[in-house]
Amino acid sequence: MIWRRKKSGEPPGADLASIDPAQHADDDLVWRPSDERAKPTREPRGSLLSGVVGSVVEAWDEVRINRTRVLLSLIGIGVAVCALATVVGAGTVFGQAQTEQFERDSGRPATLTVYPPFMESGVEAADTTLFMNHMDNVIDRYQISHATPRFRGSITAHLVNGTQYSAVQGVSVAYGVMHRVELGYGRWLTEADEKRLAPAVVINDGFYEELGRPDLRTHPTIVLGSEATTTAVIVGVLSPTPYESGLDLSMLAAPMRELVGAAASDQGDLSYELWVPEEQWEQLQQIIVRDVTGDFGEGWQANVNRSDYLAWGGPNPLEPLQWVIGGIAGLILLLGALGLVNISLVTVKYRVREIGVRRAFGATAGRVFFAVMMESVVATVAAGVMGVALAIVIVQNPAVQELIAPGVQDLPPFPIGAALIALGASAAVGALAGLMPALVAVKVKVIDAIRY
């Protein structure tokens, strides 16, 4: 019940309920009915998202205000994140170089190698022409886009300083794609070379050196001999390799058979390579074995194996490299985190008065804890963004890529995973680095603000 002062001349015992409140608005104490009293209302509280956004904005303002104190720590975190993203990104480029080298040696995953079938008794060899026709039917039947025969043998090459033996292989045009053939000069074999009267050949760098490195634009030729003699045109030169030894050349399979003779090619090293999808190689292997038995008859054993670098199903050959790169990146980030923790602890000690005043004005312990931690997280994420941007510029630089992985054919883009790892690591470091200062800030009492 609310009372008012009684006016002079007002009869005693007047009905207070009948008093018009508007006539006594200026009175010091006025009784009002209960239904006209002010009802308490609850102010609408913001959503969780607005609270988080507000905390982030507040934390960014604090970072700007205290930028001088945190600048050195942010530089350290930015450099650490840049190093982390650079190491992971450069490791991806280097890993691609190693993968391509494996594929040059053994073919791309999954490569199936099919050898001529053999009798269990071993007294009869498969007819080469029949085997080649069988494989052509298999390639057409299952629509294998990349396949090549591989005849291996040796021939003689008539050079300026005499006749020398050279290794030779007869392949198809698809071999260049399947084995990522890397050329130093000229080009790889094409389908148009099948119509040439003088066969086209691609030689290794040692062979090219023996010839005196002639200009390929002049269409240099070389005389090759075996059962027959032919003059071949050099159209390309392979890039030099560290362990190159002897002379070596590649040519299409048909002119090679004509050069060495059908009998010699029948007795030589012959196989077919099929590049098939990784998820279907086992099924295709079983189908090819079944077809060999059907075409050659009972008693013939098919010999179909997977021959690429992932054939044995063991650990990834690049796994040790990935562990080394991850260890280096973690060490770099740990050093940056230690520096940030030290500077954050010192910064909180200088903000005792500010934190005490906040507590005096009603800031809860959770609010103070979250605010101090968010300052560290926002600062480290901002430094992480700049570090990732710098890492992208470094890794995508052509000079750096050539230094890390010379000769890579399929340069990978900067890995999104590296950027996400670096940003996530910077946020985690900020949270960990802000944890101890936030706990110290929560313990600050209002009376401490008076002391400082």
* Cα angle value 41/46/51 (rounded, 5°): 145
139-155 mean pLDDT? 91
Cα radius of gyration rounded to whole Å, the chain: 40
Q: How many helices (H) does the chain have, and how many strands (E)?
A: 14, 10
Name the residue with higher pLDDT: 179 or 226. 179
Res 29: pLDDT? 47
Task: Give dist(CA 65, CA 292) in Å, integer.
Answer: 78
Res 1: pLDDT? 44
Res 217: pLDDT? 92
The residue assigned the tokens 């008794």 is 121
Name the residue with higher pLDDT: 419 or 5. 419
pLDDT at 198 over 80: yes
Name the residue with higher pLDDT: 37 or 211. 211
Cα dihedral 296, 298, 301, 302, rounded to 10, equals 40
Name the residue with higher pLDDT: 431 or 392. 392
Q: Which residues contact 234 (CB under 8 A, 6 or more apart)?
A: 186, 200, 201, 202, 203, 208, 211, 214, 216, 219, 220, 221, 222
pLDDT at 43 over 50: no
Res 262: pLDDT? 60
The residue assigned the tokens 């099919």 is 114
Q: Residue 433: is the preceding peptide bond cis (ω within 30°)?
A: no
Q: 265-283, pLDDT tens digit by residue?
A: 555 588 999 999 999 999 9
pTM summary value:
0.67
Pairing of strands 200-203, 229-238: parallel
Res 358: pLDDT? 74
The answer to whether 29 touches 2, Cβ cutoff 8 Å, is yes
Percentage of the residues of the chain whose pLDDT score is greater than 90: 25
Task: Give dist(CA 163, CA 308) in Å, integer.
Answer: 35
pLDDT grade, residue 319 (50/70/90)? low
pLDDT grade, residue 350 (50/70/90)? low
Name the residue with higher pLDDT: 33 or 375. 375
96-121 mean pLDDT? 87
Res 30: pLDDT? 47
6-14 mean pLDDT? 53
* Cα angle value 73/78/83 (rounded, 5°): 130
Which tokens hold the place of 412? 């990978």
Q: In this predicted structure, which of 194-208, 250-264, 296-310 has the lowest mean pLDDT?
A: 250-264
The answer to whether 171 touches 149, Cβ cutoff 8 Å, is yes
Res 345: pLDDT? 72
Pairing of strands 162-171, 300-306: unpaired
201-220 mean pLDDT? 92
Pairing of strands 183-186, 229-238: antiparallel
